[in-house]
Amino acid sequence: MRFRSELANRTAIVGIGATEFSKDSGRSEMSLAVECIAAALDDAGLAPEDVDGMAAYTIENNPDAEITRNLGIPGLRFFGRTHYGGGAACATVLQAAMAVVAGVADVVVCYRAMNERSQQRFGTGVQRLSPQPTAESAHFGWYAPFGLLTPAAWVAMFARRYMHEFGVSSDDFGRISVADRKHAATNPAAWFYGQPITLEDHRASRWIVDPLRLLDCCQESDGGVAVVVTSAERARDLRRPPVLVRAAAQAMAEDQHMMTSYYRDDITGLPEMGLVARQLWETSGLTPADVQTAVVYDHFTPFVLVQLEEFGFCGRGEAKDFVKNANLELGGGLPINTHGGQLGEAYIHGMNGIAEGVRQVRGTGVNQVPDVENVLVTAGTGVPTSGILLGRA
């Protein structure tokens, strides 16, 4: 199968905006959404009346109609939402790029704003789901009775098999945490600013679900992040240097389930992310060697290792060696999550990772990687997912 896209380098991210990241914002989610979107538009040098499109997640609680009213946006020609939680992160940019290239919209805002610590806690799992069966919820009945109630428990099943198959250790997972927290420690916007950890700290952190420790699991956060997408042509005349969307893709793989695809012949990979990877590389003409830094979705550390393999930065089962010797830290061969990731900065369902990708291409990252030409950003893992490649104009 060959992949072809008309989107390569035809759109750009021209503005990014964020609120403070906290554990108790003391504000409505709508207030967070309005703040981050207004900041992104200001960053781009655009006004609310320039916006005619919005792209978000199906789990977003802030309706675009209410946002337009609060921001004074006259109206929208495009509004779309993508399912599957954090898997929708980069898909919002894909939806925005498609709308712009198709002439359906000119300026599209992608956003995520939530009080995911103080108002709702995804980490508590599915206990509060309605008992009424639907096609969306029925699958929980296949494993919830056996105690698999939370995202950590769902991922633990994959992690244990991956460890068995390839000789991976808990320390290998810990190296992801150490790298992320090292970067967060020098990022004033990060919740864990000034709080690096060591591998010993990871080993000492309490068990959540064997083999996952506390420091293998992302945060629960309050906050909001938005990005603004327009055509590459219009982007040249705006306030910031344009960050081109070199490629964008979505994927779900055979026998896909929502974080519980246990029925495949092999559960040590992420074939949906592999399909994203093949689309991005082929449509952009780039290879892993062309990427200077990556923002790899890190809700749980084991899936960071698997993503490195699916994207071809190393072979199957080789990520445990690839992450050694600080290779993922600033100054290493492939620095990842230079903002601290969702383990260190905040868990905003991956939208803050897109913003960091933009900063790295602009050259304005707090932990700036030298001479960045291309950045890979990935979205949620274990679910139907998405990814983008961003590059310098």
- Residues identified as active-site: 297, 347
- Run of H or E including 170: helix 170-184
Task: Estimate the crossing angle of helix 351-362 against helix 89-101, to 10 degrees.
Answer: 60
CB distance 233 to 99 below 8 Å? no
Quote the CA–CA distance of 65 and 74 in Å, as a whole number. 10
User: What sign for the dihedral angle of Cα 98, 100, 104, 110?
Assistant: positive
In 178-312, the DSSP E strands lie at 207-209, 212-213, 222-231, 243-251, 293-295
111: left (phi over 0), alpha (psi -120 to 50) or beta: beta
Strand, coil or helix: 381: coil
Sign of CA dihedral 12, 17, 23, 29: negative
Strand partners, 181: none
